[in-house]
Amino acid sequence: MYAAQDHLWLLQTDPHYFRRFIKVLAVGEVYRTAWRHLFIANDFRLAVEDYLIWRGLYADWSCVRDLHRRFQDSIYPGQPLPRRLESRLVILDCVLLARAGIRVKYLIGYLAQRPGFQHLWNWTPSPTLSESGQPMIYADRKTQQRPAYQHYREDALDYILTQLQCRPNDDGRFDHSELFARLEYHLSEASSGERARLDEIVYAKMSDFAALHEMLAALRLYRPAFTRPSGEEFGKTIEENLTPSTKLFTYDPHKYKPSLHAFPGEGIKLFEQLAPATGRKNESWLDHRTAERKAITEFWDGARLGLRQELSFTRLEPGEIDTALEALSVSSSIEYAEIVEHERLQVSDAIAATAALTKSTTSVTTEGNLWDTSPDVSTLTIEERMVKPKTRPLQPVSAASNQAAPLEPDFDKKVDGINQQQISATARALEVIRKMYPTSIEETLARDTDWDLFVHAMNDLDFNARNVGGSAVAFEHPSKKKIIFHRPHPVAKIDSVMLQSMGKRLGKHFGWSRETFVGV
């Protein structure tokens, strides 16, 4: 949940991250059509939906965990579960199943438009308009259904992903655990070109799908068994135990219209027309950055308005809607104002430093010119001066008079306080930190960082890394805090924009900055 929330936070606060997301996302034939900006805006909406889904699942999972801890001493073999715990288990199981089914639908849509699989699909404009009055486009698979052995032999990657496009409870399906294991093995043995077919976007979607599957498997493997209710009983259970997830599921179909929640594609178009803020930080750079931030703020304002109207048709209360939309209201927060002000001060300092350097260079040049026009020293005479008498004492000074002046009271304590706020880092950790928090163009545009180097650098800073499903890697700190980063795919290298966004996330959750580390 926190990774999805940080993703939205970066999309609202970092124009470079916003632009990179569009660049990575908008590849393939479908993004070269007139529907480009509508597709991109819908992808932003799906990112918001992902956050709301994980937010609801986190609340439901935490509730089940707390109830189990409360009643674990009163649960016995052969005896019925406490009613409250059983109801929550039923709801969580059904919500996970429903969310997995939605992921399958999204996976089918994403695969059809990604470069590694678009050759298997035909995109055709629809003769009818959508409910919101927008033109539609749909995809048809080019190849006919082939026998399983032939499909697997000719295109193993497409076969595995096709088999994953089924609900966990469908009859005659392959076990998802086996399919994920086959996918991991295939990618480990495949060529670089084959791995590249599963690009960053699809790999992230597969990682989320794998996390949902692991939650569902954990629920069914380690929980006490419960009686599955009928449809009528399940509806009654939902009404009696409304949760954040079930409130998002239930809405009035007669009043709900897709036209009310479509994110504005014009905002994406306006942002792409703006020149990015690149090069040295000066007044021109600040003007470009201000224009980018304005376009991003306007886009999210429109997105927040549409989402509020959509959520008003669900069972969420007005206060719950306000809480859910806080993740899209970063531009109106004090934190965002501090980020913008800090950026402005950095530009002001850079302009002042450039001006001082220019003035110093001009002064040196002027002195050189004056020296060139000075009189010829060969014609001057040297005047003899009187010898200055020595004033140094013949005897050494006493030891008492040579003692240093007393230090300021509590001087040692002040130094210790500063050192306690700083972190010692190894040479390879400092190399990564400088790229995370750059202060020069060279550091900002540094070459990509190896994922293994990043993991070792985090290990040097007392973090323990462990895989938690898919490409997600959790970095756990002795302070009991942790943060999740995704291993890059298909090449295990972190580009400069992504590495700097990771530094911002670490700054948000751990209070890190460039000045936090000794020796930077």
Higher-pLDDT residue of 157, 250: 157
Which pLDDT band holds residue 347 (cuts at 50, 70, 90)? confident
The pLDDT of residue 111: 86
Say if 56 falls within a structural domain: yes
| 110 and 244, same domain (yes or no) | yes
| 218 and 86, same domain (yes or no) | yes
Q: What's the token pair of residue 145? A: 């259904």
Give the residue among 452, 498, 492 at the shortest CA–CA distance from 192: 492
Say if 319 falls within a structural domain: yes
Q: Are 328 and 48 in contact (CB under 8 A)?
A: yes
Q: Are 164 and 292 in contact (CB under 8 A)?
A: no
Mean pLDDT to the nearest integer, 476-496: 92
Q: Could you give the CA distance from residue 11 to residue 17 in angstroms, rounded to a whole number?
A: 6
Mean pLDDT to the nearest integer, 477-481: 89
Say if 206 falls within a structural domain: yes
The residue from 305, 332, 359 where one domain ends is: 332
| 91 and 225, same domain (yes or no) | yes
Q: Which of 6-10, 32-36, 144-148, 326-330 has the lowest mean pLDDT?
A: 144-148
Say if 150 falls within a structural domain: no
Q: Are 99 and 53 in contact (CB under 8 A)?
A: yes
The torsion region of residue 28 among left (phi > 0), alpha (psi -120 to 50) and beta comes to: left
Q: Are 489 and 200 in contact (CB under 8 A)?
A: yes
The residue from 288, 311, 332 where one domain ends is: 332
pLDDT digits (tens, 9 = 90+) for 229-247: 676 777 777 777 788 788 8
Say if 410 falls within a structural domain: no
Global pTM value:
0.82
Please determine, for residue 367, whether its predicted confidence score (pLDDT) is greater than 60. Answer: no
| 297 and 428, same domain (yes or no) | no
Tell me if residue 322 falls in helix, strand or coil: helix
Say if 439 falls within a structural domain: yes
Give the residue among 468, 473, 493, 477 at the shortest CA–CA distance from 485: 473
| 139 and 235, same domain (yes or no) | yes
Say if 500 falls within a structural domain: yes
Which H or E run includes 484?
Answer: strand 482-486
Say if 153 falls within a structural domain: no
Q: Which of 39-43, 72-76, 186-190, 454-458 has the lowest mean pLDDT?
A: 72-76
Q: Could you give the CA distance from residue 390 to residue 286 in angstroms, rounded to a whole number?
A: 61
Q: Are 90 and 131 in contact (CB under 8 A)?
A: no
Q: Which one-letter DSSP state was computed for residue 232?
A: H
Mean pLDDT of the chain: 81
Q: What are the angstrom distances between the C-alpha of 117 and each of 97, 199, 468?
A: 27, 10, 27
Q: Could you give the CA distance from residue 510 to residue 481 in angstroms, rounded to a whole number?
A: 8
Provide the residue range defining the domain that includes 500.
Answer: 415-518
Q: How many CA atoms lie within 13 A of 380 on its CB side?
A: 6
| 104 and 241, same domain (yes or no) | yes
Q: How many CA atoms lie within 13 A of 86 on its CB side?
A: 14
**Domains in the chain: how many in total?**
2
The residue from 332, 358, 380 where one domain ends is: 332
Spatial CB neighbours of 281, under 8 Å, sequence gap ≥ 6:
346, 347, 350, 351
Q: Could you give the CA distance from residue 145 to residue 147 in angstroms, rounded to a whole number?
A: 7
